[in-house]
Chains A and B, each alone.
Chain A
Amino acid sequence: MDEFKGKSLSWSVADGIVELALDRAPANEIGLAMLDDLERFAAALPELESKASALILYSKQSAGFSAGADLRELFALVQETDAGSAAKGVREFLERIHAVLNRLDMSTLTTIAAVHGVCFGGGFELALTCDLIVADKMARFCFPELRLGLIPGFGGIPRLKRDVGNGVVRDLLLTGRSINATKALAIGLASQVAAEGEALRVARATAAQVTKFDRATAAAAKRFIKPLPAEELRHEIDIFCNLFAQPTVMQGLRKFVEATGAHPYLP
């Protein structure tokens, strides 16, 4: 279908460009509702790929691209079930989100993430599936998972390692610090930095350029230069699930969910 509007996102296609807009308040947290809609999009991709050359992924939420996994939903899931069922539920969620993100990663379309504001955790991992990242100068990228006693679970480490040096990956992963667009450009994570509020416009200009090229050639170039790190992605799920069984995770989730002060997104 050329247009779709779900609970968490919408998409449309025009002039050879698919636009996928994340739109779930407050900050596009990735929980079951977002996953359902992303799966719908992945299912629609074969048809969209036959009609378009480029995909732009952006957010309609002012807070940013995405704050990452829905930790409140995850905490509630763990609270409501026994440890075995929670672990099973987490693994199932990871298998599903990996399938979706791998499909996005391997799309024959040239994919562009237009990122503003927070691009944290799972949101960062979603952006990393894209071929190009256009960063608004107010964008901020972060892997905060170690604060919870976890590692990124949506494929972030293998994909970031594919794109930038291992030292950069270690810096972001092991310190949990966030970086701005200028830094993202300097390390090769972002391909362009846009003025405040201009990332989508820059992404559209880039997408328009992409539509000029032969589709099969562009797809072949992408397959050649952007292999899926399949083995590491599988390994990541296992590491995440092993860590999830540790008591520090529940402590970290509880601290985040029950925080009443102004600091839950700060280290």
Chain B
Amino acid sequence: MRTLDQTTDEILNLAAAHFKVPRAGLEASDDFFKKLGIDSLQALELLTRLENHFGVELPDYEVAGVSDFRTLATRIQARL
């Protein structure tokens, strides 16, 4: 079972790799819309990548109001 820190770290790694931003520049508290410079379609793409990576189903209404990596990690953690 992953810890919340491990889940957060995996999200940050995945986001950095896919959206081609330096991993060192990403923090758990960052607003991923701003930090990654993504729109809602790209946010859906991120959601799909996270679902595929963690093997979970994450309804988009659960993350609709979420914009920081840490809260996103808690939503995923609740489904693991």
Q: Do A and B come from one complex?
A: yes
Given contacts A177-B60, A180-B57, are A262 and B33 in contact (CB under 8 A)? yes
A266 B44 Cβ-Cβ under 8 A: yes
In whole angstroms, what is the CA distance A266 to B48 when docked? Answer: 13
Given contacts A175-B59, A177-B59, are A265 and B48 in contact (CB under 8 A)? no
Given contacts A262-B39, A264-B40, are A138 and B49 in contact (CB under 8 A)? yes
How many contacts between A and B, using CB within 8 angstroms? 57
Q: A265: nearest residue on chain B (CB-CB)?
A: B40
Given contacts A177-B59, A262-B39, are A267 and B64 in contact (CB under 8 A)? yes
Judged by a CB distance under 8 angstroms, whether B51 is at the interface is yes
Q: Which of B41, B59, B63 has the most CB of A within 10 A?
A: B41
In whole angstroms, what is the CA distance A131 to B64 when docked? Answer: 33
Given contacts A140-B48, A180-B51, are A267 and B40 in contact (CB under 8 A)? no
A117 B45 Cβ-Cβ under 8 A: yes
- In B18-50, the 8 Å CB interface with A consists of 33, 38-41, 43-45, 47-49
In whole angstroms, what is the CA distance A138 to B41 when docked? Answer: 12
B52 A180 Cβ-Cβ under 8 A: yes
Given contacts A117-B45, A138-B48, A138-B49, are A263 and B59 in contact (CB under 8 A)? no
A265 B52 Cβ-Cβ under 8 A: no
Judged by a CB distance under 8 angstroms, whether A183 is at the interface is yes
Judged by a CB distance under 8 angstroms, whether A137 is at the interface is yes
In whole angstroms, what is the CA distance A115 to B41 when docked? Answer: 15
In whole angstroms, what is the CA distance A263 to B51 when docked? Answer: 19
Which chain B positions have C-beta within 8 A of A263?
40, 43, 64
In whole angstroms, what is the CA distance A64 to B41 when docked? Answer: 9
Q: 11 additional contacts, CB 8 Å, given A263-B64, A267-B60?
A: A27-B41, A117-B41, A137-B48, A137-B52, A140-B48, A142-B60, A175-B59, A177-B60, A183-B57, A263-B43, A266-B60
Interface residues in chain A, defined as those with a beta carbon under 8 Å from any beta carbon in chain B: 27, 63-64, 67, 117-118, 137-140, 142, 175-180, 182-183, 262-267
In the assembled complex, 27 residue pairs joining A and B whose CB atoms fall closer than 8 Å, in A order, are A27-B41, A63-B41, A117-B41, A118-B44, A137-B48, A137-B52, A138-B52, A139-B48, A140-B44, A175-B59, A175-B61, A176-B61, A177-B59, A177-B61, A180-B48, A182-B51, A262-B33, A262-B38, A262-B40, A263-B40, A264-B40, A265-B40, A265-B41, A265-B44, A266-B64, A267-B61, A267-B64
